[in-house]
Amino acid sequence: MRLYSKSVSIEGRALSYLRQMAGAEGRVPGEPPIVSMGSTAPPFVEDPQSVLDHIVSDGAQVTRPSIDPYREPVETSIYLFDGDVRLSMPMGISSLNDLPMELVETVVRTCYRMGVIADLSGLGAEPSSVAGREDYVISGADGVGSTAARNVQVIITGRDDVDPALVRRVVSSGRRPVARVPATDEVELYTALASSGFKAIVIDEDLEADREVELEVAVSLCDKALRSSGTGTKALRYTVNLIATSLRLRGSGDVFKLLGLGAEVVLLKDCWRLGIDLQRESNPRVVAERLEHLLLGMQKELKLLAGAAGASSLHSTVCGNRELFRAVELDDRTLSVLGVKAAGSW
């Protein structure tokens, strides 16, 4: 059962910040916008649009001092697939299926230069720029198919769709099987995927399911279920990567909270397109430049958020660490599902 609609508008201040970082507005691209210490953000002033709006960062205190990322290093690298792939930041770019192939090629090359994942889901033909960048691309085809990407996606909508034989075929082809599933509260699906040998699970809130829940709820359920399942001393969570994506994600704040709930990578859909003003700008050179600036700006925002929480590394300190967060105005059941304490709790 969902608490909020899937539709979230990105406008006003949120949209302006994205465009300033991308260089579509303002004069300092690639830098987080400077704002005051005051805030009108939800849920305190503005109306919340999602469960994420009820989650706040529990600022660093005396026993866990804050870190100034302008003077001390804050590590944003994320390691995927048993350490075989290193991303410079826990983000990727998705929603490319309606773009001209020239722009898709540009985005894939830009993602590789910036060290982030390019998600080709829903793309009919595969761009030639995938060659030489295979580790940093999730294939657009469902199944093995003809793809140069090493990360092969398989769309799975229920537990009955899990096919260990398909997983073995993907692995035998020298590639990594990646399951793409809807945001559901069916935790048995997540454990079945990890047990079958999938190397990553992409929870896509925009896929339909019978038992739909919010993306943040699904991510938390998946993370907790896999941490409590496994064989011997090794939990299933340490054999599979967790990736989250949705059209409603708005920027670094949402990314940071999803990391805390258990995700290792967040694929951006609408916000990057709005940030670089893709509706009015289609020049590949400008698109590449703005996407680079936007990713750099969001990376710096993640460093600021991590530093304020006293975390020096996103991968080792933030991912799955709910203790860094508190929730405001959420009922006990939702708090329990998320694994996040109410604000004011020790």
Report the C-alpha gap between 191 and 189 in whole angstroms.
6
pTM over cut 0.85: yes
Cα gap 240→198, rounded to integer Å: 7
Q: What is the mean pLDDT of residues 207-234?
A: 88
| CA angle (136, 32, 86) in 5-degree steps | 20
Residue 210 confidence (pLDDT): 85
Name the one residue in this structure whose structure tokens are 């050179």: 285
Q: What is the pLDDT of residues 190-211, one digit of tens each?
A: 999 999 999 999 999 999 988 9
State how far the alpha carbon of 175 is from the alpha carbons of 56, 151, 159, 198, in Å. 38, 6, 22, 11
Residue 11: phi and psi, rounded to 5, are -150, 180
What pLDDT sits at residue 238?
92
2 pLDDT band, cuts 50/70/90, is: confident
CATH of 12-29+41-341, one of 3.40.50.300, 3.30.1280.10, 3.30.300.30, 3.20.20.70: 3.20.20.70
Contact 87, 80 (CB under 8 A): yes
253-260: average pLDDT: 98
- What does the chain come to in residues? 346
Angle of CA points 133, 135, 141, to nearest 5° = 90
* Segment 81-102, tens digit of pLDDT: 999 999 999 999 999 999 999 9
Residue 212 tokens, joined:
């739909």
User: Does the structure show a pLDDT above 70 at 105?
Assistant: yes
Please count the CA atoms within 13 angstroms of the CA of 50 that sit on its side-chain side.
Answer: 22
Pick from 20, 13, 15: nearest CA to 300 = 20
CA-CA distance, 194 to 91, in Å (whole number)?
Answer: 22
Q: Domain map of the chain by residue range?
A: 12-29+41-341
Using DSSP's 3-state secondary structure scheme, residue 242 falls into strand
What order do you get walking across the sheet with 325-327 strand by strand?
55-57, 325-327, 341-342
